[in-house]
Structure 1
């Protein structure tokens, strides 16, 4: 019996050699044939950032999806299983996901946990652009909404790229390139936001929102935000605080009144009735929108919010 080898089958040998040559010559094709890195992000905004940096090498699952509120999120057993199977988990930090440590323990997670806000100095109520709230939180509570400042998100992107490089060293060049490209878009966004606000006198830059989610935006772009709720939607606005806010709106003739996509609109509607200020619409603070709505990504969210805010304070 004659044994067939590659040397006795020139056509087969040629095919094998061609396949190896293509794999060696095209690292991208080779990478696409490998399984993607399994990543979990805590909420939709962070998930978008991880996807921008990870590209096709990373499969991202989001725990708190578009339109949902991470402040009051309760993980399910299926989500704990998802976390347990992940190679890398990303959270915001700064107290935003009070449930995260419990979830990691329940899932028995032993992999990399990257806190995207690491290195960012947290704001507290008194430091966040002079935007008092009327909820039950003390001034010692950190504001977790650091992504509302575009320069802060550049820090997020750096932390994400570093975490992915640690999880997948062979893809590090790709992650760093993606991060650099995305940061260029963020710099352009930051410039555009500053230009829109620069055309508005500082004394007019006053906005009412549902909860205290825009402190970093206030600090970065020189806008004064006031809110009936604190930094978490889990807090309750007091009747006394709401009455104080109503008086302030009337006194300062504030024109911009917004509800947030994750908030109950009834409180803002009540404030609108008592002040005679018609709510100007919806902002996206802690969550992206679905693809069919105007804020399906971080970049579109920030542009949409800024356009809505600047139009409202001008009385348009």
Structure 2
């Protein structure tokens, strides 16, 4: 176990350059104290590792040092083939490169590992888009990716939906691309880091000037924070709904797991008829109404008044169609 961790620590420094003990500990799933001991062990074994002190300090390898301790285990070789997303790679213009890399990796693996990797591919497949929806048309995705690789500024004409539908022009410094539930998002800086749905880009022009990425920016950490902030904003408004036992049981299918957890946490005591009152996150009137209408007669909206009015008007219009 420790030998594997020492190799991982060495490869992290080789691939990423200087890293603090805190960052190394987070990557390896250990404490900084363990990292200190592991660094001492590597130095005692003759690895040219050194420490730099100060706010931007950390551990690093001497320039030019490379290790060849990169042999794959069977589990590691198998897991590599779970990361190959040919669809998204093709959208980025990298489909041929991914296929070629997989062929080279397959050819380099020992026969037992190769057979195990084929078993993985035969048994697991990733299909990112949700049911009953086509993937977004993203004609500008390749241009965004090229600008991202080259740290080039871009100018886009963008279809914005909030606070009201409008087309705006933005000059951006692209920082990263994220694929979320089959939808591509661009993380970029205009005045501060924000997200843009790539499918909403109407036109794009790559500018000649380059930029320097902000120090310490971590795409995964930014995205995690963005998602949490977005979901908290969604939960800022809420609808009060009375639910039958059947309506309560159907909530996960209609609202999804996050909204269902919030609704169940707010449940009131059951009445004589078994119905219970719950608070449901409200993204918008139309969005909430569309979801709650799927519950049919197993749910009744109590508030806010504008949602009650919206539901009543929609149901009346539907009833008129069936007279």
Task: Using structure 1 for the length normalisation, give the TM-score.
Answer: 0.27
Q: Which has the higher strand share?
A: 2
**Which structure exhibits the higher relative contact order, with contacts defined as CA atoms closer than 8 Å and separated by 6 or more residues?**
1
Higher Rg: 2
TM-score of the aligned structures, taking structure 2 as reference length? 0.26
